[in-house]
Each structure stands twice: as structure tokens, then as C-alpha cells.
Amino acid sequence: MTKVRLDETHDPARRSFVEAANQANTDFPIQNLPLGVFSTKSDPVPRIGVAIGDHVLDLKKASGATERLTQPVRDALQETSLNSLFALGRTRLRELRRIAGDMLDQGATGNQVRRHASDLLVSADECTLHLPTKVANYTDFYAGIYHARAAGALLTPENPLPPNYKWVPIAYHGRASSVQVGQGAVRRPLGQRPPAAPGTPPSFGPCERLDFELEMGFYLASGNNLGKPIPIAEASKEIAGFTLLNDWSARDVQRWEMFPLGPFLSKSFGTSVAPWVVMSDALAPFRVAALPRPEGDPRPLDYLFDGEDQVRGGLDVHLEVLLSTAQMRAANTPARRILTSNAKYLYWTPAQMVAHHTINGCNLQAGDLIGTGTISGPSPAELSSMLEFTSAGTKPVVLPNGEQRGFLLDGDEITFRGRCSRDGYVSIGFGSCTGRIAAAEIASLQKQVA
Ligand code: CA
């Protein structure tokens, strides 16, 4: 097993000249340096940046302030998405993160970035954040075993955990075109809802059981050629970085449509991601062992088994979900945390997902997005969708103002947060992934009826 790759970029003593980056509660200290794509009113062309405290370092401009970047990195930083940069691979991404850290270091002398900070650093408040990559392909796994069990018990009680679950990292191909950066509105979908009684027709209209799924997502670095699987031992090197991901789900539509080919319209209306990509290298101190398999569970097949991955292929990311309703916002009541979980509960590691995805020769491309599946934990407070948390709406969440929610109503806003902490290291966070439910587009529905 190789040792955890830690270097000066993880040094807890390091400080930035951006003061807000040195505060204990920030998601973006100098030890993090996540990448994203932003624009401003005065310069509306999207460009690549790195989050630091309450600011964003404009990497397109800053690339002119250093001699240290290689030409391929310099070229990739001129683009409006991270795909070309990710395609350069993890070694180049590691270099970029190191150089960005040096640019933002408090101690750096003769630092061009510090000298020209007013030009190169933009206040986060002034930034519009965009989808970090052009997502050509999006795949959603089902690797949260506590979710698979809890949701299975509600959706298919006769067979809560499929017999293949402990052998196959189950996934389906999601819809890439409707992936959006969480900050905007998510429109309640229209669709067919299950018949009220067997033998009767389905009803049609706005989804009545709108839900979220708390997941993490990750982006591919260089990827693989068609026909060339990525071996498990190489797989974690192919992951550029991680984000928070909300796989919005229309449960009524899903229940009616999903057999036998799986979810379709119940998922494809929208998937939200956080705007920042926390680089794999920033997460090095927060890797943990893969979820221990209970006695009697099968050992993963060889193509999914790697000693190093078993020892540190898991991720310790504390996750939380906040809910804010229209009524709460009108009364200036802060969003309510309704549940917490942790990425360490995934039954399959991200590397196993990559190895499995490519074992048939399927080619993953730079900037492709992969969702882990809903990450529920073993306790009732860690059930990470409304479906599970409210037992399919039968035990609603009661909010401090007396409002109740079985599923999401129009105006409800869901926010995900994620944070890594470990003794001896500076905590880093993922920013937030937010979406507010907008009413269904019923004008088209009324036109059809008329
Ligand atoms: Ca999902």
C-alpha cells in the first residue's frame, strides 16, 4: 500500500493573504482550492476560477502572473469549462493546485497575484457560478447500501435488496443535458402517476411526490479509450474531483414507470450539482477504508478488488440537508437541518464504480459526471431522501413553524452541504448545492385539455 499522499498543500499551518480563507468555518481555506467556472456582470464570459475564502481567484488572468504553469495548463485555463483541464490528468491538476496555493499564500514574497489582487480576485458575491464541466455523460450509481435497503423496503418490499447488490455496483445512465448548477429553480415535472387501484388507468398531472436524493458526484479526469477498461488499481487516479449532487426524483412517476428498465422521466427533469469541484488531491487527508463488509458478504470480484482501495478508497465527508419553505423565508426563519449523513457509508468506492463502468470497454470522457447513489446511514436520522426519511410521506417532517412535509411542495428549497474534518488538518468544505422547487408548467397541460 502506498502512503497517503500528503504535502505542503495540506499543511495546517498555511495561511492565505485572503483573510476570510483563514477563518475556521470557511469551506475554502488555502488547503482546499476547488475549481469552478464563474462570470461577473462586468465580464460575462465564463472563466475558470478557484474558490478562496469569500473570493474567487480568476485563473485565466492569474495564469499570466506566473511562469510556472506548463503550456497545456495555460491553454486549458483559457477555456469556458474544466473539460480540457481535467483531460490533462491528475499530475497536471496536482501541479495547478500547488501553484494556485503558492499564489494565494500569505508568506509569498514578490507575489504578483497579491500585488494585483484587486484585478485577479473577485468577491464571491459578484460571481455567477456555472456548470463546471460540459457534462457529456452522466451516470448514477446505487452504491449507498442503507438507501438501497430502506428505499427497497418501501418500493419493492418483497425484495428490498436485489440479489446482485453485493456483487454488482448497480447504476443506470442518467440524463446529462439536465444537469445544472444548484442555485436555480427546479421545475416540478408533469407525468403519469400510478393507478389508484389495479386495473384502473394512471392519472396525469404534476408530480405529487417530489423528492431529493443526497449524493456525492465526481468528475472524470482523462478517462479511457473505447475497449480499454480502467483497472481498479488505476481508477482513483482517473477521478479529477468531487462535488455534492442532488438527484431530484419524482417518486410517483418513478413507481409507475420503472419496471422493467429503470427510472426515466422520474429523474431526467433535473440533477443539481454544487458549483465547486473539490480536487481529489485536496481530499487526501480525508480518505478512509472502504465500508467494512459484514461477515458473510462476498469479497468483490478481482476486477473490483484492490488492497490500496480497500484501505483508503472510502471518503469521510460529513453531509447535511437543509430545508427552507416559502413561509419560513417570509418570516426570516433560517433553513432547518433535517438530516445528516456521511460518504463513508457507500458500499462501493468511487474507484470500484470507475472500474466497473469501464470493464466492458465503455469509454469515460474528461468531465463526465458520476453520481454515487443516495448516501443514507444506518440510523433513522441519516435516511437521505424524503421517501426514506418520512416513510413514503406517512411520517412527515415537522418544522419549527408547524409546517409538515411528506414530500416537497412548491417554493421549498433544499440545500446540501458537505465538510471534511480530521484532527491535525484544516477542515475543508464543498460549498452548497441548492435548488428551489418551482410550480409545474401547467399551461401546456391546460392547452391539451381545452
Ligand atoms: Ca440516485
Q: What is the pLDDT along the chain (450 residues), one digit of tens a residue?
A: 344 578 999 999 999 999 999 999 999 999 999 999 999 999 999 999 999 999 999 999 999 888 899 999 999 999 999 999 999 999 999 999 999 999 999 987 667 788 888 889 999 999 999 999 999 999 999 999 999 999 888 877 888 899 999 999 999 999 999 999 976 799 999 999 999 999 999 999 999 999 999 999 999 999 999 999 999 999 999 999 999 999 999 999 999 999 899 999 999 999 999 999 999 999 999 999 999 999 999 999 999 999 999 999 999 999 999 999 999 999 999 999 999 999 999 999 999 999 999 999 999 999 999 999 999 999 999 999 999 999 999 999 999 999 999 999 999 999 999 999 999 999 999 999 999 999 999 887 676 655
How many angstroms is it from 410 CA to the middle of ligand 1? 21
How many angstroms is it from 305 CA to the middle of ligand 1? 24
How many angstroms is it from 399 CA to the middle of ligand 1? 25
- Kindly state the DSSP code that residue 298 receives in the 8-state scheme: P
What is the rounded CA–CA span in Å between residue 172 and residue 263? 8
What is the pTM for the complete model shown?
0.96
What is the rounded CA–CA span in Å between residue 224 and residue 246? 26
Q: Which of 10, 55, 147, 357 is catalytic?
A: 147
The residue count for the chain: 450
How many angstroms is it from 141 CA to the middle of ligand 1? 7
Q: Where are the domains of the chain?
A: 8-130, 138-449
Cis peptide bond N-terminal to 285, omega within 30: no
Amino acid at 15: R
Amino acid at 386: M
What is the rounded CA–CA span in Å between residue 281 and residue 423? 18
Helix-strand-coil percent breakdown of the chain, rounded to 5?
Answer: 30, 25, 45
How many angstroms is it from 65 CA to the middle of ligand 1? 42
How many angstroms is it from 374 CA to the middle of ligand 1? 5
How many angstroms is it from 140 CA to the middle of ligand 1? 6
What is the rounded CA–CA span in Å between residue 89 and residue 238? 7
Query: Rg (Cα) of the chain, in Å, rounded?
Result: 22
Q: What is the torsion angle, in degrees rounded to the nearest 10, for the CA atoms of residue 247, residue 253, residue 257 and residue 261?
A: 0
How many angstroms is it from 150 CA to the middle of ligand 1? 13
**pLDDT score of 158:** 83
How many angstroms is it from 411 CA to the middle of ligand 1? 22
H/E stretch holding 278 reads strand 278-279
- Kindly state the DSSP code that residue 327 receives in the 8-state scheme: H
How many angstroms is it from 443 CA to the middle of ligand 1? 29
**pLDDT score of 114:** 83
Write the class of the CATH domain 138-449.
Answer: alpha beta
Homologous superfamily of 8-130: Fumarylacetoacetase, N-terminal domain (2.30.30.230)
How many angstroms is it from 136 CA to the middle of ligand 1? 18
How many angstroms is it from 306 CA to the middle of ligand 1? 26
How many angstroms is it from 248 CA to the middle of ligand 1? 8
What is the rounded CA–CA span in Å between residue 45 and residue 130? 11
Phi, psi of 95 (to 5 degrees): -60, -45
How many angstroms is it from 172 CA to the middle of ligand 1? 9
In angstroms, the Cα distances linking 391 to 96, 145, 271, 300, 381 are 46, 17, 23, 31, 12
H/E stretch holding 257 reads helix 251-257
**pLDDT score of 117:** 84
What is the rounded CA–CA span in Å between residue 360 and residue 410? 42
Q: Which grid cell is 110?
A: 514578490
Q: How many CB atoms lie within 10 A of CB 201?
A: 8
How many angstroms is it from 269 CA to the middle of ligand 1? 13
> What is residue 67's three-state secondary structure?
coil
In angstroms, the Cα distances linking 414 to 110, 151, 246, 268, 324 are 44, 20, 9, 18, 7
147 is catalytic: yes
